[in-house]
Amino acid sequence: GAVVSQHPSRVICKSGTSVKIECRSLDFQATTMFWYRQFPKQSLMLMATSNEGSKATYEQGVEKDKFLINHASLTLSTLTVTSAHPEDSSFYICSAPGPYQETQYFGPGTRLLVL
Amino acid sequence: SQQGEEDPQALSIQEGENATMNCSYKTSINNLQWYRQNSGRGLVHLILIRSNEREKHSGRLRVTLDTSKKSSSLLITASRAADTASYFCATGGGGNTPLVFGKGTRLSVIA
């Protein structure tokens, strides 16, 4: 089946620094990718929709200047958490619609810890 | 936003027992999907049921859908310790649209 990778899988950073997370579709092209955030023991909340060749669409309450999204190619979307703070610590997961039907393929997630 | 509720929020059973998880949603749907998430990992698609279907099977999984009640259930038969995970229902996902997830059920299967 289709594979989506994420890098890094885990990152610890100091407050005020920026962190970039990559999401790649390995064996298929994805003009659209989705970024979710998941806090412990909670569900996935959609942050934004990443569109290849155009601006990302952000969900209400998600700061576009803080969570920068770049969909540089048909296989790569990046999420940059700028000036990270401890409250940004979370599990970030990307997904991409598969080649067929309505299912989506998820990356393994990135655990961010901001100290 | 989240589509609806899932119950129970947490379920603990013995190996070999059946596990039933329920999901409710709010809007009209074309399909409903169930995903599984192992602790600290990404999600894996389990099964998709379309709005014109009432029941679907895949191995030890059985999914039902009642569009009149806007609810779905996932049954895992003869559970195994390896089934321990969180299970989420989700709607949407067609035409490059995002999925909207329920709150999930954390299943623990005790050997």
pLDDT in tens, B1-42: 455 667 889 999 999 999 999 999 998 999 999 999 998 888
DSSP 8-state code for residue A82: -
Which of A31, A102, A107 shows the shortest C-beta gap to B48? A102
- Does the pLDDT of residue A73 top 60, yes or no? yes
In chain B, the residue whose alpha carbon lies closest to the alpha carbon of A101 is: B94
3-state secondary structure of B38: coil
> Within 10 Å of residue A38's Cβ, how many Cβ atoms?
21
What is the C-alpha to C-alpha distance for residues B109 and B38, in angstroms, rounded to an integer? 13
**Chain A CB within 8 Å of residue B11 CB:** no
Question: Searching chain A, which residue's CA lies closest to the CA of residue B89?
Answer: A43
pLDDT of residue A104: 87
Q: Report the residue from B33, B94, B98 with minimal CB separation from A34.
A: B98
Nearest CA of chain A to the CA of B27: how many Å?
Answer: 17
Per-residue confidence at B89, pLDDT binned at 50, 70, 90?
Answer: very high
Partner-chain contact A111 B40, CB within 8 Å = yes
Eight-state DSSP code of residue A41: T
Q: Which of A34, A52, A33 is nearest to A44 (CA)?
A: A34
Q: Does B108 touch chain A (CB under 8 A)?
A: no
Q: What pLDDT does B17 receive? A: 97
**Apex A19 CA angle, A16 and A24, nearest 5:** 165
Would you place residue B74 in the very low, low, confident or very high pLDDT band (cuts 50, 70, 90)?
very high
